Structure 1
Amino acid sequence: MATKPFASSADLTDKQRALEILADGVYALTAEGDPNIGAIEAEDFLICFEALATPVAAEEWLGILRTHTGKPVRYLVLSHYHAVRVLGASAFDADVIVAHDNTRALIAERGKQDWESEYGRMPRLFKQPESIPGLTWPTLTFSDQVTIPLGGDRGEVNLRYLGRGHTEGDIVAWLPKQKILFAGDLVESQAALYTGDAFHRDWSTSTLDNLAGLGAETLVGGRGVIARGADEVAAAIGQTKHFLQVMLREVGAVRERGGTLKEAFDATHAALVDRYGKWPIFEHCLPFDVSRLWDELSGVERPVIWTAERDREVWEQLQQ
């Protein structure tokens, strides 16, 4: 059998973008399974959520946003450290770049390697990569939560750390008045999960339980469609939890019987493909997902750094 094209390297078709207005002054941009991004209007400034992979890609989003508001960006919120979410930050000219304490540490530890890895995996997202000035560094970090008043009768944005999940530094943006949640990659809605830097056991239990406890009625996940209404929000959280639980069950069973990493990948693929196989980036992510979970169940507490070379090795070993 021929080896599948590496990760998303063969996915070169632009996706159809859609700007959705979730409430007065609350915006989200979706793009058929590409990373979602958002913005929230305060009385006299903007809070943007996520930065995309390059300044050129971010400028395209800002051009769309500017048809609705000309307010300056005061805060740029980075949900976590992955390159496709952060390297476009310079386009926003934000006064403050906000992230979790752990995210700043991860950028210092593995930001350069992650940049090279994600560029190789998803080259289409890196529009004009030469426009990236370097690693993105947050200027404000926190450990638990930060609240940003929006002024007038707009309410507030609560940035929260809910526990380890997709990475050890994921944060969400919660608008309690509007009951809107920007969840980052802690939740996907009709899109597969990337768990290559994850803490599967925490994520599938306490972290998602904490997230569900917020009571969101609109949820913007890291990829996929926007969940509207309590039932769709519950379904998106449930889908994410189910994906993780199946992985834990299948990889754990293979390890317990003394099987191999390749056998764990095959069993997990078989268990997930009927439900999730046609969703965005399923085939791309699963080798890296299973490799990380195998390590986690083997006692490797923190994810091994992904490099471009390690990416290829794992792909060739598993995704045949």
Structure 2
Amino acid sequence: MSKAFASAGDMAEKPVTFSEIGRDIWAFTAEGDPNSGVIIGDDSVMVIEAQATPRLANKVIKKVRSVTDKPISHLVLTHYHAVRVLGASAYGAGQVIMSETARAMVAERGQEDWDSEFGRFPRLFEGHESIPGLTWPTTTFRDRMTVYLGKRRVDLMFLGRAHTAGDIAAFVPDANVMFTGDIVEDHSACYCGDGHFHDWPGTLEKIRGFDLDAVAPGRGGALAGRDKVNAALASTADFVRSTYRPVARVAGRGGSLKQAWDACRAECDPKFSGYAIYEHCLPFNVARAYDEALGIDTPRIWTAERDRQMWQDLQGG
């Protein structure tokens, strides 16, 4: 291998922002690292996204305790990726909620994803030795589920495939605020290695239809105000389309993965090279786009060995 993944050298800790984006609704963000969210109800708290390890989860819990002493009763995981779910044990939540599809993906590929993500992005697994094992939900749903935190209602919804096949969003109607997970990003590259390029823009349009006052995206800053929300929806859709189009053209004429990589860089670098984790995501995005263009609907499972082989192919090795 001629060089390591870009993420292997990304070891600088990112400053955390904890901002209120609606009444008693908070976004935990960290400059392109995975975001979490906090919804405070009458008697208890719901947390959105667990972080990758219990040690990192405790950073979220510390912020929760700075604004409320109510117990954390619910933990919602928007999809199955290791960096989102493996810190779940720290919260002590009575209910851990995923979509049925996300749970199936834990069973099918959760360990492989853990091994793959840990190998290529070690900084996000600070305190990895404290992870007790794969995270399993206590509660799942297919399309929609409503949770009441006292009088406060939270609607959990599957709106369509995007970042994975099992993505869900959490909507708080009384504040018109949504936590989207990695369906939406802000000035951060989308990780598309498990994505569905054809479906993703349509899922974004369903989110646009809510006419939201604020969104906490999967990565990047909290989006307060409809102009910022709509700009992030548009830039996410542009990222997804700009990644897929050049790769599909190369795949359609029988070109190589390396040729697809070069074509994708030519289109995406001028617009997105300054985005957080852009270099980290790019090889996985190209590989998945190439597969989807060839008619492979279900993303192939990423393993540490497949990561290395794909990277060698892209480097011409």
> Are the aligned partners of 1:287 and 1:319 in contact in 2 as well (CA < 8 Å)?
no
Per the alignment, residue 268 of structure 2 pairs with: 272
- Once residues 3 and 83 of structure 1 are traced to their aligned partners in structure 2, the CA distance between those partners, rounded to angstroms, is 27
Correspondence 1:224-235 to 2 at 5 A: 224-235=220-231
Q: Using structure 2 for the length normalisation, give the TM-score.
A: 0.97
Deviations 1:166-220 (A, max 9, x none): 000000001122111101000001111100001110112x211111112112111
Per the alignment, residue 150 of structure 1 pairs with: 149
Distance 1:235 1:319, change over 3 A: farther
Per the alignment, residue 122 of structure 1 pairs with: 121
Shift of 1:151: 2.9
- Once residues 32 and 301 of structure 1 are traced to their aligned partners in structure 2, the CA distance between those partners, rounded to angstroms, is 32
Percent identical residues? 47
Deviations 1:247-284 (A, max 9, x none): 22111111222211111111111111111101111011
- Once residues 249 and 216 of structure 1 are traced to their aligned partners in structure 2, the CA distance between those partners, rounded to angstroms, is 29
Partner SS state of residue 8, structure 1: helix
Deviations 1:233-253 (A, max 9, x none): 111010110111112211111
Correspondence 1:160-175 to 2 at 5 A: 160-175=157-172
Q: Which amino acid aligns with 2:279?
A: E
Shift of 1:23: 2.0
Correspondence 1:1-320 to 2 at 5 A: 3-152=2-151, 155-204=152-201, 206-318=202-314
Deviations 1:274-317 (A, max 9, x none): 11101111011111011011111112121110001111111222
Partner SS state of residue 259, structure 1: coil
User: May I ask how many residue pairs the two structures share in their alignment?
Assistant: 316
- Once residues 233 and 293 of structure 1 are traced to their aligned partners in structure 2, the CA distance between those partners, rounded to angstroms, is 26
RMSD after superposition = 1.3
Structure 1: gaps spanning 5 or more residues: none
- Once residues 12 and 38 of structure 1 are traced to their aligned partners in structure 2, the CA distance between those partners, rounded to angstroms, is 24
Shift of 1:5: 2.9
Shift of 1:319: 5.0
- Once residues 67 and 204 of structure 2 are traced to their aligned partners in structure 1, the CA distance between those partners, rounded to angstroms, is 33
